[in-house]
Amino acid sequence: MLEAPGRIWAIMAVALAVAVPLFFGSSAHAQEVDAEIFGVLRYEDAETEEDVLVADVEVEISNESGVVGTTTSDEDGRFAVSVTSDGEYTVTLDEDTLPEGVNLRSADNNPLETSVNDGKDRRVLFPLVEGEGGSTSGSGGVSLRRISQLTVEGFKLGLYLAMAAIGLSLIFGTTGLTNFAHAELITFGMLTTYMFNFYGLAAIIGFLAPLPPPFGGGVNLLFAALLGMLSGCALGYLLNRFIFKGARKAGVSLIAQLVMTIGLSILLRYSMLYLFRGGPRTFGDFAAQRALKLGPVELTPKDLVAMALSVVILLGVGSYLQLTRMGKAMRAVADNRELAESTGIDVERVIMLVWVTGGGLAALSGVFFGLDQVKWDFGFRILLLVFAAVTLGGLGTAYGALIGSLIVGLAINLSTLLIDAEVKNMVAFFFLAIILLFRPHGILGRPERVG
Amino acid sequence: MDWGFILERTFSTMFGVEVMVFALAAVGLNVQFGYAGLLNFGQVGFMAVGAYGLGTAISWLGINFWFAILFGVAYSVILGLILGLPTLRLRADYLAIVTIAASEAIRLFVRWRRMKDITGASEGIGEFADPFYDVSPFGVGVRYEFGPFSYLGRDLWVLVVGWTILILTVLFVRRLMSSPWGRAVKAVREDEDAARALGKNAYMFKLQALVLGGVIGGMAGMLQVIQKGSIQPDTFNPVITFTIWAILILGGAGRTWSPIVGAMIYWSAISFLENVLRQLPDGASSNLEDTIGLSDFNISQVRFILVGLGLLLLARYRPQGIFGSREEMALDDR
């Protein structure tokens, strides 16, 4: 009975692994379609806070076989190019044709990669800002409006980080493993969700491609996110079952296991680059939303929903850890493995569930981060933040990871009041150094000797 | 398929610039990890500060090239102290987290827009290495052939200097590790408490090993950018560190010649594989492109996938490396 769920997981996960190369198989069948890639260029005037539409900007759309079309945005800031086949496209904005003083918010977002599926029109988004692109730096001045905006964004970052950090911390607590591959679990959730969003279940089982959604075509982002989370759970299960469980049994030292996670991290990351390619993309739904004004802060509806969802999920995880037998067992194993084992807790089973939960939570965190941008190395770029959060809270404690994440998220965003946004992630490093100097066990960790 | 060409390329790679630079960086890591047991996952950070110490001293401060090398060394020492002082009293994995974070922070810092006047931000620094090539006895554009090997005069000069430094460093490290200092460092690696009980200051020994390894890493960084002729911030990414780790574990950590052996095996395998894949007959290569999407464009990504897989399997099944023995170094807990 105990073995059965494990077997189901394994079958699911193997199916997933076999199917990954089929991602692109399913998109390959070229068919004559009549679709449009379009977008609207606008920025917010800093003084009047009104949207300004940007005309006469050149945009070029190309695919593997070359340039498909070029166009210029009209008076409503709208540009559109017709394409005649499904597939991957690259959209490049000619930055020289932007008006004086208007720039892309992030140079990373040009060119954009997008894909057309089932002949549906596709919208792309080039976020523009007035003034210097790349960052809204310290020059923005300190106003109450800015502080509250940054605080809200800090909470957003903290909440999303927390979902990844809790898994990392629990895995460390239960097995002693410093898992550098956790970042790839975040990216994995993001990319699989993108794939389900565009190709539906055909992303797993290639021959379903000709069927209607949810089998052949893309599914709604919410459903895709659910599938993405399950894929994350499956990957977490697989990594434990086929890599780290064996290593623990064979008595491979923790240092060697740490090196293993680094190898695993490179392996997964570049496999994802190989399959997914380099350019940044956006999910099919909710890509271009207008921000709502809520008092002094602005948030897009998708961020609002995602933040609310992450609070619910974190509360759920918290009560799971606090109230259920398995949650208590997880905390007990994290606290003291030998003692837990001697009270009859099946430690291997707890570790398996920690990996599954951690994988799923990291994948969800990737989905939420992916609302802004989907990219093959996203997880690795925030790995430093996740580690800073976990160390700050105390390695191995679930609630510490939550508190640490919120502090790191807030500190990083509020630091842009003083320094350029470009280097804000460096703040996390200084946090790390200072914590280790004065309180190496973190906020909630036990002050035992760790030398 | 032209096997002669593939083998020639593979052999040339064995004594080429990549092997020299990565072997030297791995010698530094060997001092830190192999002998002292320190988990430095930010070796690329030491390479970066070495390179930028040299480059900024020349282009920003206008200092003579040969004197500027001291700046590269000094910056590496400072980085070693900054990283070591807060972390070396703690459990080993804290150093891993901090060093990996620091190497990324350094990359972000040097490519910061406001550092434009000093580090050249994302464009980096160019045109600083001319004095090095001015003293070269080889013609810059001439191709020199030695049996199966052939190198451009410019590269040959870097190689002669680089390999001399590399061999001297390895001999120095070997001498050092059989000295009383080296034996104390190894004792700290094996059993810190025992070393402390014998009156050794474990913290100081670890700090010295971290700084020494860092300086060697900084020298590797300097040689790399001298050969390239320019400094680009994004070449100093964490994958470099992981490659150095793969090389060291491949050769066997804690062994004198392992960095050079590991680097030779690693880079000749990579070169062999890439050349074979690029030279496949048309039928086979279009077959590969249709089935797994492998093309000229992403062949280099396959290499990183293999590095990752190699590191994973080595750490799991042969933590002592291909030639290592379990007694000396087996990636143990300390």
Q: Do B307 and A260 touch (CB under 8 A)?
A: no
Encode pLDDT of A6-39 as tens digits: 444 454 444 445 444 444 433 434 456 777 888 8
Under a CB-based contact definition with an 8 Å cutoff, are residues A366 and A227 in contact? no
Which helix (DSSP H) or strand (DSSP E) does residue A25 occupy?
Answer: helix A22-28
A290 torsion bin: left (phi>0), alpha (psi -120 to 50), beta (else): beta
Residue of higher predicted confidence among A451 and A68: A68
pLDDT in the model for residue A377 = 87
pLDDT in the model for residue A136 = 43
Residue of higher predicted confidence among A231 and B291: A231
Chain A closest-CA separation from residue B306 CA (Å): 7
pLDDT in the model for residue B334 = 40
Q: Do B98 and A270 touch (CB under 8 A)?
A: no
CA-to-CA dists, residue A256 to A160, A179, A190, B245, angstroms: 30, 12, 29, 12
CB pairs under 8 A between A and B: 148
What whole-number distance in Å separates Cα of residue B230 and Cα of residue A223? 49
Q: Do B293 and A134 touch (CB under 8 A)?
A: no
Encode pLDDT of A419-444 as tens digits: 887 788 887 777 777 777 777 777 77
Chain A residues with CB under 8 Å of B102 CB are 429
For chain B, the farthest-separated pair of C-alpha atoms sits apart, in whole angstroms, at 69
> Which pLDDT band, with edges at 50, 70 and 90, does A290 fall under?
confident
- Check pLDDT > 80 for residue A141: no
Interface with B, mutate which of A245, A257, A272, A429 (most B CBs under 10 A) = A429
> Which pLDDT band, with edges at 50, 70 and 90, does A447 fall under?
low
Q: Do A433 and B86 touch (CB under 8 A)?
A: yes
Q: Do A267 and B298 touch (CB under 8 A)?
A: no
pLDDT in the model for residue A181 = 94
Q: Is the peptide bond before B137 cis (omega within 30 degrees of 0)?
A: no
Return the amino acid letter for A163: M
ipTM exceeding the 0.90 mark: no
pLDDT in the model for residue A22 = 41
- Check pLDDT > 80 for residue A198: yes
Question: Which alpha helices (H) appear in B90-147, and where do they start and end?
Answer: 92-110, 116-119, 130-134
Q: Is A337 helix (H, G, I), strand (E, B) or coil?
A: helix
Q: Do B304 and A428 touch (CB under 8 A)?
A: no
CA–CA–CA angle A206, A27, A199 (5° rounding): 65
Under a CB-based contact definition with an 8 Å cutoff, are residues B35 and B185 in contact? yes
Q: Do B305 and A274 touch (CB under 8 A)?
A: yes
By C-alpha distance, the chain A residue nearest B84 is A433
pLDDT in the model for residue A242 = 94
Q: What's the whole-number mean pLDDT along residues A241-267?
A: 90
Cβ partners under 8 Å of residue A305, min gap 6: none
Encode pLDDT of B109-143 as tens digits: 898 888 888 888 888 898 888 889 988 888 877 88
Q: Do A391 and B97 touch (CB under 8 A)?
A: yes
Q: Which residue has the tokens 């020492």?
A: B77
Q: Do A270 and B313 touch (CB under 8 A)?
A: no
What whole-number distance in Å separates Cα of residue A257 and Cα of residue B223? 32
Say whether residue B315 is in contact with chain A using an 8 A CB cutoff. Answer: yes
Domains delineated in chain A: 3-24+143-438 (1.10.3470), 33-133 (2.60.40.10)
Say whether residue B121 is in contact with chain A using an 8 A CB cutoff. Answer: no
Q: Do A426 and B105 touch (CB under 8 A)?
A: yes
Token pair for residue B233? 């911030």
Say whether residue B141 is in contact with chain A using an 8 A CB cutoff. Answer: no
Chain B closest-CA separation from residue A130 CA (Å): 18
Say whether residue B334 is in contact with chain A using an 8 A CB cutoff. Answer: yes
Interface with A, mutate which of B78, B94, B314 (most A CBs under 10 A) = B94
- The angle, 0 to 180 degrees and rounded to 10, between the axes of the packed helices A378-393 and A347-370 is 120
Cβ partners under 8 Å of residue B9, min gap 6: B271, B272, B275
CA-to-CA dists, residue B254 to A221, A261, B34, B61, angstroms: 51, 21, 4, 39
- Check pLDDT > 70 for residue A5: no
Where exactly are the structural domains of chain B? Answer: 3-234
pTM of the model: 0.77
User: What mean pLDDT, rounded, does chain A reach?
Assistant: 81
Chain B closest-CA separation from residue A271 CA (Å): 6
Q: Do B305 and A254 touch (CB under 8 A)?
A: no
Beta bridge partners of A88: A115
CA-to-CA dists, residue A20 to A28, A30, A221, B159, B194, angstroms: 14, 20, 19, 43, 52
Low-confidence ranges of chain B (pLDDT < 50): 329-330, 333-334
Residue of higher predicted confidence among A357 and A50: A357
Identify which of A24, A180, A436 has the shortest CB distance to residue B87: A436
What whole-number distance in Å separates Cα of residue A410 and Cα of residue B6? 54
Taking a contact as any Cβ pair under 8 Å apart, which residues of chain B between 13 and 72 contact chain A? Answer: 39, 41
